[in-house]
Structure 1
Amino acid sequence: MRFNAKTLLTLFMVCATFAPMLLAAEGHGEGPQSEDGVLTYMGNLMFWEYVTFGLILLIVGWKVLPVMLKQLGERQDRIQDALDKADKVRSEAEVLLRKHEEMMRNAHADAKKITDEATAAAREAAGRISAEAEQAAKETRERAQKEVEQLTRKAQAELREQAVELALLASSRVLQKSLQDEDHRKLAQEAISAAGTMNN
């Protein structure tokens, strides 16, 4: 038969209640005035001390100990949960740290790539601009040279015409209109040819 804490407590209470009566019925309780009374009284006192100590142990084991064990278990569970959470947080922090380091490496690589591309693009643009500027300067020089040549030819033509006019004027004055129109044209052609030869 299995006894629980309440049953044991009841048995102790019954024993504590009826033990003195049983001892008195057997003749052990002659009173403190008898010769054996001191020993009997001391024996009864020790018996009650044992009973009281057993009752205290029983009460502690029945009421106090489960509460203490429960509190200790809950505290142990809380500590274990805190340790588990700390391990989890540390693991997550390590993962985040590795991700951050990887992101920083990727960012440095991307920045270097962008810098290299920008440098190459700047050099290419500088070369292209230099080539375009050189080509534009060349075209400007050629255009200016052509304009100068055109102006030179135009000025030469104007000079030839003025020379012809001056020659005609001078010859007409010298000859005092003694020549015919055909002679004037011939002289003009010769003057033009002579002027062209001089300019070349």
Structure 2
Amino acid sequence: MPQFDSHFFSSLIFWELISFGILLWVLSKFALPPILEALETRERKIRDSIDQAEQNRTSAEQRLQEYEAKLRGAAQEAEAIVVEARSKAQRMLEENEQRLRTESERIKAETTQEIERARQKALQDIRGEAADLALLVAEKVLVRSLSGDDSRRLAQEALQAVSADSASGRA
């Protein structure tokens, strides 16, 4: 085995070192620069991606804070609208109650006036009936026949007497 021969072994190491040096020089001259450039490019892309991700995260946090602020504002606005709607409903309820109270009082007053008119008419009718009855009674009591003028005069007197009695009875 010649490779384990000490004389042959030393020259083999020399040539191996020379070929390794040449290979190292060729690799550093032609292969290593593109590899290093690719690694630097990749490192730059990764760094840019990390920076972009950080910017996106910051931007997302800022938007989240803005949306939360808008949401709080919308919630406050909704609460204000509900409060306003409740106050409007209360106001409308009070207005309706007032309107109904006024309408009720008006109807009560009209009814009272109508009752008073009916009472006055009933009193008038009673006076007329009383006058007719008084004439009839007077005619029967006197048992004489009266002329038309006498009858009217007696009716007027009876009517005045009944009116005077009713006026003194009310006072």
Using the size of structure 1 for normalisation, the TM-score is 0.72
- Structure 1 residue aligned with 2:120, among 153, 165, 172? 153
CA RMSD of aligned residues (A): 2.2
Query: Matches of 2:103 and 2:155 in 1, distance apart?
Result: 45
Structure 1 residue 197, shift from structure 2 partner: 3.3
Deviations 1:28-76 (A, max 9, x none): xxxxxxxxxx75x555434312211111102221233123212211221
- Large movers: runs of 4+ above 4 Å: none
Amino acid at match of 1:51: I
What is the percentage of aligned positions where both structures have the same residue?
31
- Pairing 1:107–2:74 present: yes
Amino acid at match of 1:121: K
Q: Which residue of 2 aligns with 1:98?
A: 65
Unmatched tracts of structure 1, length 5 or more: 1-37
- Structure 2 residue aligned with 1:86, among 53, 74, 96? 53
Unmatched tracts of structure 2, length 5 or more: 1-5
Do the aligned residues in 2 keep the contact of 1:160 with 1:192 (CA within 8 Å)? yes
- Pairing 1:119–2:64 present: no
In proportion to residue count, which structure has more helix? 2
The alignment covers a number of residue pairs equal to: 163
Q: Which residue of 2 aligns with 1:68?
A: 35
Which structure: larger Rg? Answer: 1
Query: Matches of 1:82 and 1:135 in 2, distance apart?
Result: 77
Q: Which residue of 2 aligns with 1:144?
A: 111
Using the size of structure 2 for normalisation, the TM-score is 0.83
- Structure 2 residue aligned with 1:134, among 101, 114, 131? 101
Structure 1 residue 161, shift from structure 2 partner: 1.1
